[in-house]
């Protein structure tokens, strides 16, 4: 609770900031860019993992990670620690023009690795591809944000600071700010003044949406903090024997520092890795060259401590979560399903993971799409499947 109060005071006393071009009118709503100070404390650790300071190190780290006999997970912990601080989290809050009851439902969308929040709102053919634009058109408000170490958020140490438990706590703090109204008050006061944000009421319900590593976080969030979410959309993630099967070597990683302003320990996909991991389906119909080029253009570095600590948030059970959950799987997701998501899911297992959600769990397979769902031609049809699912469950 102390962290919540600290964050609230920061929101009130900090110079309420926004970046340039910080608000925009969309076809179906209004968006505002925000820099939110988030106070968070979490467990962390010092891990026995390689250091990455050049391209040779990046490939060596990937091979080290993929070696079948290599000790991984908690066995790599050298020392358990605690991380505490106030971190700048860059976010975009969008509210719809439509004045219906869905306006009071806020989606909080968490992106995965190798991208920032632009994954949810690509500028390339935004009316067709953007999940944010589709949400506004459907009447939902939506918060997207750059996870710690990514995009315009703070870029801390890649080994000992940017770890999964801290990222989960940052998601919890953002959720609490949304629930208690601080987030909307912050948006209303952020410059420049925008009438669309002056009188918005705090959300009555929250839906958490994730992609890839963002779905790791979203799944863990509804498991650990069940009372703070009313529903979840899990994209690009399913816990099966195929999860992560292509390995880190499939990234074709290189050291991020020469191309990005990053310290030691940040790696980035080469373009061939972006295609391998994120694009799939019939190359004549699933995506265009422009989509692949754009997907490479907006890629982001990844701190390797995030991978070392991921075991903390994968496979958690949520005995108290009672909201609806949709797993939206791209048909040909290579990294999650090893290239084919059809028939690999088990509803009974998912219902045992979230027993109070039994009867409200759905797995949808979107045809001719790959892991970067929003950058495929069939994305919009998948968005509608998600909105229909939410509407069926009163969201």
pLDDT tens-digit profile, the chain (395 residues)? 444 444 444 554 444 444 433 458 898 999 999 999 999 999 999 999 999 999 999 999 999 999 999 988 999 999 999 999 999 999 999 999 876 667 799 999 999 999 999 999 999 999 999 999 999 999 999 999 999 999 999 999 999 999 999 999 999 999 999 999 999 999 999 888 888 888 888 999 999 999 999 999 999 999 999 999 999 999 999 999 999 999 999 999 999 999 999 999 999 999 999 999 999 999 999 999 999 999 999 999 999 999 999 999 999 999 999 999 999 999 999 999 999 999 999 999 999 999 999 999 999 999 999 999 999 999 999 999 999 999 999 99
d(CA 339, CA 232): 24
Q: Give the integer Cα–Cα distance in Å for 329 and 238.
A: 8
pLDDT of residue 23: 56
Q: Distance between CA atoms of 252 and 61, rounded to whole angstroms? A: 11
Report the run of H or E that residue 392 belongs to, with start and end: helix 379-392
pTM for the model stands at 0.94
Q: Which helix (H) or strand (E) holds 38?
A: strand 29-47
Give the C-alpha separation, 309 to 325, whole Å: 25
Helix (H, G, I), strand (E, B) or coil at 150: coil
d(CA 174, CA 36): 9
**Token pair of 360, please?**
């409200």
d(CA 41, CA 69): 33
**C-beta separation of 219 from 234 below 8 A:** yes
Q: Which helix (H) or strand (E) holds 55?
A: helix 55-66
Within a 10 A sphere around the Cβ of 360, how many other Cβ atoms?
Answer: 18
CA atoms of 179 and 110, how far apart (whole Å):
17
CA distance 55 to 59: 7
6 in Cβ contact with 116 (< 8 Å) = no
Q: DSSP state, 67?
A: -
Q: Which two tokens stand for residue 71?
A: 């000790």
The C-alpha angle with vertex 248 and arms to 368 and 372, in degrees rounded to 5, equals 25
Name the helix (H) or strand (E) containing 336.
helix 334-337
Helix (H, G, I), strand (E, B) or coil at 138: helix
Contact between residue 393 and residue 360 where contact means Cβ atoms under 8 Å apart: yes
DSSP per residue, 101-113: GGGGEEEEEE--T
CA distance linking residue 86 with residue 112, whole number of Å: 22
Q: Is 2-392 assigned to CATH 3.40.1010.20?
A: no
Q: For position 151, what pLDDT does the model report?
A: 97
In our burial notation (b when 16+ CB lie closer than 10 A, e otherwise), range 222-253 reads: bbbbbebbbbbbbbbbbbeebbbebebbbbbb
Burial of 100 (0-12, 13-18, 19+ CB in 10 A): exposed
Q: State whether residue 152 is helix, strand or coil.
A: coil
């Amino acid at each position: 609770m102390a962290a919540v109060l600290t964050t609230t005071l920061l929101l009130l006393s900090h110079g309420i900031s926004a970046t340039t071009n910080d608000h925009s009118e969309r076809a179906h709503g209004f968006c505002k860019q925000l820099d939110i100070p988030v106070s968070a404390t979490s467990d962390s650790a010092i891990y026995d993992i390689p250091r990455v300071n050049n391209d040779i190190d990046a490939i060596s780290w990937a091979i080290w990670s993929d070696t079948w006999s290599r000790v991984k997970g908690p066995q790599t912990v050298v020392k358990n620690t605690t991380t505490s601080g106030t971190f700048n989290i860059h976010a975009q809050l969008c509210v719809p023009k439509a004045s219906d009851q869905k306006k009071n439902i806020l989606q909080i969308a968490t992106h995965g690795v190798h991208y920032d929040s632009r994954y949810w709102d690509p500028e390339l053919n935004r009316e067709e591809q953007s999940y944010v634009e589709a949400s506004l058109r459907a009447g939902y408000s939506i918060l997207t944000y750059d996870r710690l170490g990514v995009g315009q958020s703070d870029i801390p140490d890649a080994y000992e600071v940017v770890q999964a438990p801290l990222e989960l706590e940052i998601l919890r703090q953002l959720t609490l700010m949304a629930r208690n109204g601080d987030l909307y008050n912050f948006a209303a006061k952020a410059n420049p003044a925008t009438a669309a944000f002056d009188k918005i009421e705090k959300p009555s319900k929250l839906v958490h949406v994730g992609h890839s590593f963002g779905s790791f976080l979203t799944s863990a969030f509804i498991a650990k903090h069940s009372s703070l979410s009313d529903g979840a959309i899990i994209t690009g993630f399913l816990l099966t024997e195929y999860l992560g099967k292509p390995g880190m070597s499939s990234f074709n990683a290189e050291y991020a520092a020469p191309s990005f302003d990053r310290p030691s320990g940040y790696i980035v996909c080469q373009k061939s890795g972006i295609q391998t991991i994120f694009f799939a389906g019939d190359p004549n119909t699933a995506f265009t060259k422009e989509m692949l080029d754009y997907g490479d253009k907006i890629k982001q570095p990844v701190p390797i401590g995030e991978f070392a600590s991921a075991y903390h948030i994968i496979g958690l059970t949520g005995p108290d979560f009672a909201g609806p959950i949709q797993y939206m799987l791209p048909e040909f997701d290579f990294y999650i399903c090893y290239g084919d998501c059809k028939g690999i899911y088990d509803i009974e297992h998912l219902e045992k993971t979230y027993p109070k959600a039994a009867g409200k769990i759905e797995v949808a397979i979107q045809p001719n799409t790959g892991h970067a769902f929003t950058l495929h031609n069939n994305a919009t049809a998948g968005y509608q499947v998600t909105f229909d699912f939410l509407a069926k469950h009163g969201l």
